[in-house]
Amino acid sequence: MKQIVAILCAAFLISGSIKAAEGMWIPILLQKYNIEEMQELGFKLTAEDIYSVNQASMKDAVVIFGGGCTGELISNEGLLITNHHCGYGAIQSHSSLENDYLTNGFWAMNRDEELTNPGLKATFLRSMKDVTEEVLEGVTEEMTEKERNSVISKNSKAIKDEAIKDTHFTAVLKPFFHGNQYFLFVNEVFTDVRLVGAPPSAIGKFGGDTDNWMWPRHTGDFSLFRIYANADNEPAEYAEENKPYTPKHHFPISMKGVSEGDFTMVFGYPGSTYEYVPSYHIKMITEEVNPTLIDVRTKKLEIMNRYQGADPAVRIKYAAKNASTSNSWKRWIGEIKGLDKLNAIEKKEEQEVAFQKWADASDNDKYKTVLTEYKGIYEEYSKYYITYSYISEMIRRNGMEGVGLSGYFDGLISEIEKDTVDNEVVLSKKEGIVARYQKFFKDYYMPLDKEETAMLLQMYQENIDAKFLPDVYMLINGKYKGDISKYVDMVFEKSIFMNQNTAEAFVNNFSKKSIKKLHKDPAYILLDSFVELAKSDVVDQYKELRSKIMLLDRTYMAGLMEFENDKVFYPDANFTLRVSYGQVSAYEPKDAVQFKHYTTLEGIIEKDNPDIYDYRVPAKLKELHTTKDFGKYEVNGTVPVCFVATNHTTGGNSGSPVVNANGELIGINFDRAWEGVMSDLMYNPEQCRNISLDVRYVLFLIDKFAGASYLLNEMTIIE
């Protein structure tokens, strides 16, 4: 236990070789390990200004927005800004052909017009603490992994319970450095979060999938929400009497802009990175997993794009699904290219050769065989990883949508089959399923789903090892003689789940007798075939092999820290609050190509193309450009739009505040440049750039485009 703490202390030592642009740093450790470096780069504040539990600090203006993005407070009246793509689901939920807020945008012109969003949350971090010793109390080297996890689980529960005792807070405890360190996070969760404003998709999603992950970028990727609280300024469910939340801190907004070399800091919740995986993992991702998943999603997107292009209603229904599908698809492509350019596998192998030489000479036997064990496990793990991922593409991740509706009955069946049936519980479960169906059918188009279902079944059979074919293929290749289209026609014709009325009626009248009918439904048979395969042949093996890799990860991580004890190690991202810092910087993506560090409104006008949906510039924005009605947001005859810097970011950092040396908001992080998306696995300072929306463009759009300048009155704007 003490040895682990000593290793961690050594791992955080600052060496002369540190690259300020790389790393996602723990806020409470900035004073000890990072602040001098930050100040040398130009930062003018203190570590206490960033994170403090004793006084208001920047952390009090940063939230987890929803379940996977970051947002920040920009006024003393609960006004929150995040990305347009983070608010996309909420915007879409209020959209219809009659009120198409995705296409036309939405702006509340007073508090009464703000729109409620059931289920949407904003989560503030109130404190964090290193609890490694408490979590690992009682853990010994002799324990099995199951025994170790049992002790950790028991200790963790006690720690969390004590931390939030007699409060309305919540607690999360997460491992760092693959289980060599643990931190406790105490949070405050607000559930009354209302939509205030969003630009039309022609601005908020300008460039669409074509420009996604790319630089230069001209996307006005922001949306505005407001957090409400009760009379005591505490979390409360929606109520008319709730008041705008008064935060402990909100970000002042700078109109001074950015220049090459300026200090930048991103503060937010990066999701997941894998900086310390062995070469075998990189090989698996680049040579097997990513290529396979890219092929699947290419076909999904071809089908979606065709139907969306032909029907405006389908375009709205599938807007969020398309964006979700496309996002990872394009990132996987860029990840392969970036890792190849870095010679990532070779670099990992060189490190492993040196590590093995050190381990062989070390007194600690547990490090001697870790790389050999990795190799053996990854050879088997890759097969199950691909199959598990493919099944997820089939029955989750916008796969066979209508078929999936048959899979909501487990809880209801369990209640109905009890000796004593609680009719109120049964009714509640039925109402829950019907509510899910109503939400589902609002954004569903059967012809699209039918074609995609046939495509997925065909691709699965062609690309996955025959031993992983579910039983349903016996039916397809027997009765239907391999004609998947004919089989899918039957499923969609005979299943009760492809029609909203019949599906809801089946749920409302569900009884014990209905169970037999459910099990005979062709959609249920299809879904259950994949689910049973996953349960019996895939998931258990996948989890078992993954568990072995996680144990090796913990050992290898501790070994690396001992081996390179003069190196700075930052923990992989795990959706906890982090700081990354760097500088505004142009870059050269390839030979003879030089990108500037900023873009302007001129680039938007240059890309204008009425024939391409993603490049249709709104008439009002073109008018503002033509008349040069830029107001105080004008710089050199135009308006700044986006900029790039060297901050190390990943998914989850969407919506993160980008602040200058004075802690003032200068941008909203929303993407990475395609050449650097491999930074989740290996960082390249020459290519990795985070893309941010210039806050001056945000203010310009709110003021001049939307006419919602009243919102600026509650902000603290530094000119």
Both tokens of residue 41?
Answer: 């780069």
- Three-class secondary structure of residue 173 per DSSP: strand
Alpha-carbon dihedral angle through residues 296, 65, 190, 108, given to the nearest 10 degrees: -100
- Three-class secondary structure of residue 561 per DSSP: helix
Please write down the HEC assignment for all residues of 18-79. Answer: CCCCCCCECHHHHHHHCHHHHHHCCCCCCHHHHCCCCCCCHHHHEEEECCCEEEEECCCCCE
Is beta strand 253-254 parallel, antiparallel or unpaired with respect to 717-718?
parallel
| Dist. CA 352–CA 559, nearest whole Å | 11
| Dist. CA 422–CA 79, nearest whole Å | 44
Both tokens of residue 599?
Answer: 């873009």
Which string of b and e fits 63-97 if b means at least 16 CB within 10 Å?
bbbbeebbbbbbbebbbbbbbbbbbbbbbbbbbee
Phi and psi at residue 239, to the nearest 5°: -155, 145
Both tokens of residue 700?
Answer: 């310009």
Question: For 274, which DSSP code?
Answer: -
Both tokens of residue 504?
Answer: 């809801």
Backbone dihedral region for residue 575 (phi beyond 0: left; psi -120 to 50: alpha; all else: beta): left
For residue 367, which amino acid is it?
Y
- Give CA angle at 119 (117, 120), nearest 5°: 65
The catalytic residues are 85, 221, 654
Question: For 86, which DSSP code?
Answer: T
Phi and psi at residue 429, to the nearest 5°: -70, -40
Continuous H helices in 396-445: 401-404, 410-416, 423-442
51 in Cβ contact with 189 (< 8 Å): no
